[in-house]
Structure 1
């Protein structure tokens, strides 16, 4: 699955040219907030991502759930948060279908090291995106005081805000950059993926009416 910066940049593209709201941004990483519970199973993580039988949901099911939760509350902050939440799941789906699938096909090293290689590259990618994307600093500043929401059966408000803080601290600590060359997840490939995924989301979620510019 992609790490936070990919989700933040997708969120940045969704409402363009308007900047993403803090609610959209924190929502875009909320499904992964389950990690603050400590050691979790794949099945537990799968619940927050609508995984069934070990597979991420198809686009239509993501949209159905998105529209269901979108209409539970009238507040714009809630709707933007829900947009971010289900955009995260769709982004994960497309990542698995495209860049990650290609990575598994192209990987030529010892199979036992595939997880290590993946983590090293996506860690590096976080810092490459942070440096290359216009408007990253304002996005991260918005996140500092962003407010999460509880979603029944998925995540609690406190979990989302704790996860947000942990991810920000990690991103802002340059010692976490592995300083490796990107081979499988190059910046060009990932930027193309982000643009395509945001465009698909603007079509998939267009009934929301949250943004005048497509989102």
Structure 2
């Protein structure tokens, strides 16, 4: 689903006055499962609360968020958990909106759909880095972040290993496909970020347990 810079863009909206390293790292932590190597779709689904091939609805995401924030005291933990479940909700909304539109607009076969998607979201990462003033600060904060285990989904070492891998990828200019975005343009993604962040600020934060509450 969306790659790290989209998740960081949403974290940038959720953090007050700006996102902390823990929030940023949490916002990509569900994908840390990739460091295990050749994982199945089902294995990845576990870290994203997938059941019977479907992402969870907003109520299930909220229930899990409230359960995990209550497991430990401390702002760093709360922010990490906030980021983790914000990631899952972001994936859900991406599938329901931009990705659904993409599949309607692009009638290619499954393999071509996947190739074009990966090319566009790769390009999008670099477009966001160049266009957003906060991008450099976010990547620097990520370098200083400390991982947490979220049992039974991911462990601390996986989260920190994934952080290192993604930072290296984002800082390597040779990873940019250098194509023109057609389906996942900056204006579409910016609207998605604004809308999803607004929804998350209500879904995961009404009791004041969230990141802004300290």
> Could you tell me the TM-score, scaled by structure 1's length?
0.96
**C-alpha RMSD of matched pairs (Å):** 1.2
Match of residue 122 from structure 1: 121
Q: Pick which of 186-195 and 111-120 moved more.
A: 111-120
- C-alpha distance after superposition, 1:138-172 (max 9, x if no partner): 11001112101001110010000000000000000
Match of residue 14 from structure 2: 14
Residue 209 and residue 87 in structure 1: after superposition, are their counterparts in 2 closer, same or farther (change >3 A)? Answer: closer
Q: 1:111 Cα shift?
A: 4.5
Residue 111 and residue 34 in structure 1: after superposition, are their counterparts in 2 closer, same or farther (change >3 A)? Answer: closer
In the alignment, does 2:152 pair up with 1:153? yes
Q: How does 1:77-156 map to 2 (within 5 A)?
A: 77-156=76-155
Quote the Cα distance in structure 1 between the aligned partners of 2:85 and 2:43.
17
How many residue pairs end up in the alignment? Answer: 212
Quote the Cα distance in structure 2 between the aligned partners of 1:92 and 1:209.
19
> Structure 1, unaligned stretches of length 5 or more?
none
Quote the Cα distance in structure 2 between the aligned partners of 1:36 and 1:6.
20
Q: Pick which of 106-115 and 32-41 moved more.
A: 106-115
Quote the Cα distance in structure 2 between the aligned partners of 1:131 and 1:188.
14
Match of residue 196 from structure 1: 195
Describe the SS at the equivalent of 1:211.
helix
Quote the Cα distance in structure 2 between the aligned partners of 1:112 and 1:45.
20
> Structure 2, unaligned stretches of length 5 or more?
none
Deviant stretches of 4+, over 6 Å: none
Quote the Cα distance in structure 2 between the aligned partners of 1:2 and 1:63.
20
